[in-house]
Amino acid sequence: MNYEQIYVKSHSNYIFNMESINGYLEDTVKTKNKSYMEDILEKEIVNELCKKYSADDALQALIDNSNSFENLIKEIGLFEKYKNKVIFLDHEKYKADSDNIIAKAKEEGKEICLSSSLIAGYFFDVRQEKELIIGLKMMLVYMHTVIDEFILDSIKTTMLLNQNSLRSKEQITFEDIIECGSYEDIINKLIDKKLDKLGRDSYEAKINYLINGGIKLDIDEDLWKDDMILFCEIRNSLIHSKGKFSKSNIDKLKGTKYKGTFDIGYEVQLSKEIIEEKYNLINLVADSLYEAVCKKFNIHK
């Protein structure tokens, strides 16, 4: 298996997902990325979500159903109407098999509706303040998902290309070995266990894993550490405490330049300018990480 090319494709997926966000930020999405039907469909989905959950809870409904998007469309009564025209896809399913999915959609004459980026775009386009704020929140949460996935893909690549890094006290059971049909399967099992743990850990833990493994980012520590930790805690507050900083958020900032800047209960403020700032930060970190991994393992891009 060519792990290097899998990583290159992972970076391409990252770029695709971020460019979909950039289209909304530049207000060009309707001419560059959307068909007329996509625009109408998104409005219907958002309207039905707001009817069912209220505008305040529509964002949370999308997040809670991020792994069952088609079921959510069925729940709000739009699946039968569009099933012959649209493929409704979870982000993970699209990422895992994007080439085949695009080919299938083309063959069947259908369009693809992803669970995160397209919906966020409609929220961002509307003019009502409440919906605009929901859109900004959705966009920030989606950006976090995209960069988090790419960081985990980067970690997985370093594990696959430097299997000595898998040595640890982590044990694999006899049952696991029996289930594995080959040495490669055992390696993948160990990697999955480590990634599962890291996936639930903080951004700082993930990036420290990479740095301890010899991955050196060529940008200021203020950017890949302090600013990214703040970004992640903004996201966490939106998900877990309705955009207000908790003690947990404040504690995560103690080792950064933002120590003492925020108080418990601080309410996150979002604007298009702030989203653009975070977008640029994430791209800077992702590009530096990609270059560092490719340089260490001589991956040809």
Tell me the whole-structure pTM to 2 decimals: 0.72
Q: Are residues 54 and 158 in the same domain?
A: no
Whether residue 144 is found in the same domain as residue 276: yes
Residues 245 and 263 sit within 8 Å (Cβ to Cβ): yes
Q: How far is CA 132 from the centre of its chain?
A: 20
Say yes or no: 241 and 277 in one domain: yes
**Mean pLDDT calculated for residue range 143-166:** 90
> Which of 104-108, 144-148, 247-251 has the weakest average pLDDT?
104-108
Q: Tens digits of per-residue pLDDT, 211-253?
A: 999 999 999 999 999 999 999 999 999 999 989 999 999 999 9
Residue 293 has pLDDT above 80, yes or no: yes
Same domain as 195, residue 74? no
User: Which sign, positive or negative, has the C-alpha torsion 112, 115, 120, 126?
Assistant: positive
Query: Do 127 and 182 share a structural domain?
Result: no
Region 7-29: mean pLDDT is 77
**pLDDT at residue 88 greater than cutoff 80:** yes
Name 22's Cβ contacts closer than 8 Å, sequence gap at least 6: 279
Task: State how far the alpha carbon of 20 is from the alpha carbons of 17, 23, 42, 160, 170, in Å.
Answer: 5, 5, 15, 30, 39
Q: What is the pLDDT of residue 254?
A: 94
Where does a domain end: 137, 167, 182?
137
Domain end (from 120, 137, 154): 137
One domain for residues 262 and 249:
yes
Is residue 27 over pLDDT 60?
no
| Domain extent at residue 28 | 3-137
Is the pLDDT confidence value at 129 over 70? no
Q: Give the CA-trace dihedral at 182, 185, 186, 189, to 10 degrees.
A: -160
Distance CA 24, CA 1 (A): 37
The domain boundary, picked from 112, 137, 162, lies at 137
* pLDDT greater than 80 at residue 205: yes
- How many domains does the chain divide into? 2
Residue type, 138: M
How confident is the model at residue 262, as a pLDDT?
96
Give a three-class secondary structure readout of the chain: CCHHHHHHHHHHHHHHHHHHHHHHHCCCHHHHCCCHHHHHHHHHHHHHHHHHHCHHHHHHHHHHCCCCHHHHHHHCCCHHHHCCCEEEECHHHHHHCHHHHHHHHHHHCCEEEECCHHHHHHHHHCCCHHHHHHHHHHHHHHHHHHHHHHHHHHHHHHHHHCHHHHCCCCCCCHHHHHHCCCHHHHHHHHHHHHHHHHHCCCHHHHHHHHHHCCCCCCCCHHHHHHHHHHHHHHHHHHHHCCCECCHHHHHHCCCCCCCCCCCCCCECCCCHHHHHHHHHHHHHHHHHHHHHHHHHHCCCC
Residues 239 and 91 in one domain: no
Residues 13 and 90 in one domain: yes
Q: pLDDT value at position 54?
A: 66
* Average predicted confidence (pLDDT) for the chain: 82
Specify whether 10 is located in the same domain as 55. yes
Work out the average pLDDT over 160-179.
71
